[in-house]
Every structure is written in structure tokens, then in C-alpha cells.
Amino acid sequence: MDTDIAHVLLVGGTGRFGGKLASALLSRPGIHLHVLVRPGTRGEALRRLEAHGVTLVSGALDDMRSLDSALEGVDAVVSAVRGPPDVFVEGQLRLLDSARRHGVLRFIPSDYALDSADPEAGRSFMAAQRHVADAVVRSGVPYTFVSCGAFMETALSPQAQVFDFERGRVSYWGTGDEPFDVTAMRDAARWVAEVVVDPRAVGRRLEFVGDVVTVNEVAALYEELTGQPLQRVRRGSVEALRGQLARPRPAGTPVDTSSAALSLLSQLAGKGRLRAPSNSDYPRHQPMSVRAFLQSRLIPRAPSLGALSVESFP
């Protein structure tokens, strides 16, 4: 552990993944957590942060002055923002600029999917991540990038356009036996909380994988756990999926649109699989399997519905 890193600023801590990051960072001894909160943001996520005695700093990515004051006394920055390019790209570049001027010891940009530097991975949808990553490398600020495949919470939800348990349907391309990397948000957050203070992680892209499964395996698991059959719908060949992903996204499409879906579909199309997970470098942490994830989300329901709670994929 890098003992020089004590004060960590989390940006995006009121978001879905950011909330998990806040919990993971709070549970690490020696870390004092600061969270940038936009003026006007309210809600349960903020209440949880307040209840944990986090240092809340009012500010936003389009307000450089607020970023400069949020960066005072901060040793590391972790970003989990999501939004259109003026937030995801320009906003994070402002954050990076402030981090550089404040001499932070570690910068982890919002990423957490596939390797945006991999020409095979998400060529058509990770340009924004790549743009930020290139700027981070050029800035000279010590950095770590984190990839973790698709989040289970989104990959196994209807949002990713593959599993629709509520409707009893699963769609696939190819044979359904194509493997993909998935990670529970909680596990990805715990790994980020480890690497942010790990000097070995400086200047690297680290990959972490919670589980490797296929569409057919997940469908069979669901059927085993619920006793409910799923209808399989073949959408086409892997080549057809590749063609679909290669189509340019309409101009102005927000950076955040379906990044989870795209990272899952990209893997199903044979692109972007994580090659060298660093799980074993952090042996204290054993990630959740897809089986455990599905089990944890099964709720008792009327037999006719016996399904996963869509609400449980927030």
C-alpha cells in the first residue's frame, strides 16, 4: 500500500458504480474519502454518503474553480462519471488538468469495461474512453486504468439486450457458447479500492474478471435456480453482430448509452475479451460468480412469475 495516498477524491460517487466505489474506498483503512457532489444533487446515494462521514465537496466537472478547490489536499482521484462528451471527455480532461496542477499521485479515469486501447475492442463505441486515456498518459499524472468486462448488473439485465428473464427470453448470436467476461460492480469497486493505493499499479491497465460464462451457461443456470424455462431466440451469426456493432452510432449519441450492452455484445462478437486478468495479484479478494450473483438476486415470487427481480438490477 502506498502510504502517501490517504485522501482520495471520488467523482461520480452518487452514481450506480460510484456508490459501490464509495463503499469500497470507505472500507479501506487509511483512506479518507472526499466526494465531489454537484450542487442540487439529492437522493438516497447522497444520504448514504452523508451518513458515512464522507467529506462532501460541492462542485461539477464544468466548473474548474470547484475542481481546483476539491483537489486541495487530495492524493488520488477516482472517477466514475458518466454522461455526454462534455461531461465524460471535456469534464474529465478538466479534472485531469486540475489533478496535474495539484500533483496528485494517482488518477483513475472512468472506464471499467473493455480495454479502450485495444484496436479490436469496441472500436466503434470506446472513442471517448480512448481519448481520455490518451490524455491521461500524456499528462504525466501517475495513473491506473481498470477494465472489468461487462458489469453483471447490466449484462444480465434487459438493458444489454441479451437476457430478459422477466419475459422468459434469451437472445443470442452465433451458437450461444461464446464466452464473455463479467464482474459484479461490488467486486470491480473493491479491486479499484485496492489498486488506487498499490504502487505496483502505477502506469498500467489492470484487468479484473469476476466470472467467464456463455449465454447458454447463464440461461441454464437461471433455469436450474428458478425452475422456469427460457425461450432461446437466435438473432443471427457472430458476423452479423460484428456488422451491427461496426455501424457508426448516430451523431450526438451520449458516451454513456448502453456501454454495458456494447461491451457485452462486443465480446459476443469475438472482440475485447480481457486477456491477462490481475485477480491473482490481489488474492484477498474472491469475486462473486454468476451463479452466486443470480442466487443473490432471486426473490420469492408467485410460482407463475418465479423470476428475477428487474428492480434488483438498479
- Applying CB under 6 A, among 91, 174, 210, 277 the residue interacting with ligand NAP is 91
Stretch that binds ligand NAP, among 35-43, 200-208, 226-234, 292-300 (CB under 6 A): 35-43
| Least distance in angstroms from the C-beta of 6 to ligand NAP | 23
For residues 124-163, which are near ligand NAP according to CB under 6 A?
150-151, 154-155
Q: Which residue lies nearer to ligand NAP by CB, 17 or 165? A: 17
The C-alpha atoms of residue 83 and residue 41 are separated, in whole angstroms, by 15
- Under the binding rule (CB under 6 A), the answer on residue 22 touching ligand NAP is no
- Applying CB under 6 A, among 33, 49, 107, 110 the residue interacting with ligand NAP is 110
- Under the binding rule (CB under 6 A), the answer on residue 113 touching ligand NAP is yes
> Whose CB is nearest to ligand NAP?
15
Q: Which residue lies nearer to ligand NAP by CB, 20 or 102? A: 20
* Burial zone of 148 (CB within 10 Å; 0-12 exposed, 13-18 middle, 19+ buried): buried
**From residue 41, how far is each of 59, 86, 113, 250 by CA, in Å?**
10, 18, 26, 29
- Under the binding rule (CB under 6 A), the answer on residue 82 touching ligand NAP is yes
Alpha-carbon radius of gyration of the chain: 20
Residues 6+ apart with CB under 8 A from 191: 146, 148, 206, 208, 282, 285
The C-alpha atoms of residue 266 and residue 111 are separated, in whole angstroms, by 16
**From residue 45, how far is each of 52, 135, 188 by CA, in Å?**
11, 30, 18
- Under the binding rule (CB under 6 A), the answer on residue 260 touching ligand NAP is yes
- Under the binding rule (CB under 6 A), the answer on residue 17 touching ligand NAP is yes
The three grid cell numbers given for residue 169, joined into one nine-digit string? 427470453
**From residue 83, how far is each of 4, 12, 91, 176, 225 by CA, in Å?**
31, 10, 10, 32, 36
Stretch that binds ligand NAP, among 12-20, 194-202, 232-240, 303-311 (CB under 6 A): 12-20
Which residues are near ligand NAP by CB under 6 A? 11-12, 14-18, 36, 38, 41, 60-62, 80-83, 87, 91, 110-113, 150-151, 154-155, 256, 259-260, 263
